[in-house]
Amino acid sequence: MLEIIIAGGWLMVPILLCSTLAVAIIIERFWSLRRSRVVPDGVGEQVEEWAAHDELDLEHLNRLRKGSALGQVLAVALANRHRSRDVIKEAVEDTGRHVVHELSRFLNTLGTIAGITPLLGLLGTVVGMIRVFSAIMIHGVGNANELAGGISEALITTAAGLTVAIPSYFFYRYFRGVVEEYVVSMEEQAISLIGAIERGNVAKIKARGS
């Protein structure tokens, strides 16, 4: 393996660095985008239980906010529950943008790696072919070792670039899909909670009026 890397020339260095970074990002995103960490089951039921026991105080809201990404969104809605629907919705949207940004962290880097590693491989191909033609100019076509060195450099860098790019692009699209799925789920639960808060506020106003 080491001989193959060396034969690929200096362009194998950035390709290997991209490979290491891509693996680190993929592992980190798998850990950070676990469902139990983003949209765990039972959060809505927990909020309803707190509301039923009149436990929507600062301590419980902080616990909800720290528990998951969904909890951050719902906690903001609950913290503004005594305000108008428009204020609650705006607060939820602001928090949602921050949450989505956090969920998408490093994905642009992974997409960039998927885009540049084939180009690095292509550059290696060009450099290798330049070596081949330079060897032909100097030694003619009779020196097979000189020609083989340039050709092997061209092929190795191309293969290495594609080997890094293909799984990087696959996981980039996969994690994008996971984030979009989580965002839809959080939007649905946030809208449901806002509706419940609005109904509760209306009921309180009617009760005071009567």
Q: With CA atoms as reference, report the closest residue to 81 among 203, 209, 208, 210.
A: 203
| pLDDT tens-digit readout, 113-146 | 999 999 999 998 888 787 776 766 766 655 656 6
Sign of CA dihedral 50, 54, 59, 61: positive
Please tell me what DSSP assigns to residue 56: -
pLDDT of residue 32: 93
User: Does residue 109 belong to any structural domain of this protein?
Assistant: yes
Q: What is the pTM for the complete model shown?
A: 0.83
Q: How many domains does the chain have?
A: 1
User: Does residue 95 belong to any structural domain of this protein?
Assistant: yes
User: Does residue 80 belong to any structural domain of this protein?
Assistant: yes
Only one residue has tokens 């906690």, namely 75
Residue 93: what residue type? Answer: E
User: Does residue 117 belong to any structural domain of this protein?
Assistant: yes
| pLDDT tens-digit readout, 34-64 | 998 999 888 877 877 777 666 777 888 888 8
Q: What is the DSSP string of 164-206?
A: HHHHHHHHHHHHHHHHHHHHHHHHHHHHHHHHHHHHHHHHHHH
User: Does residue 166 belong to any structural domain of this protein?
Assistant: yes
Cα–Cα distance measured from residue 138 to residue 43, given in angstroms and rounded to the nearest whole number: 73
Report which listed range, 106-115, 134-143, 183-192, is most confident: 106-115
pLDDT at 202 over 70: no
User: Does residue 2 belong to any structural domain of this protein?
Assistant: no
List Cβ<8 Å contacts ≥24 apart for 133-139.
none
Cα–Cα distance measured from residue 181 to residue 190, given in angstroms and rounded to the nearest whole number: 14
User: Does residue 190 belong to any structural domain of this protein?
Assistant: yes
User: Does residue 1 belong to any structural domain of this protein?
Assistant: no
Domain range for residue 129?
Answer: 7-209
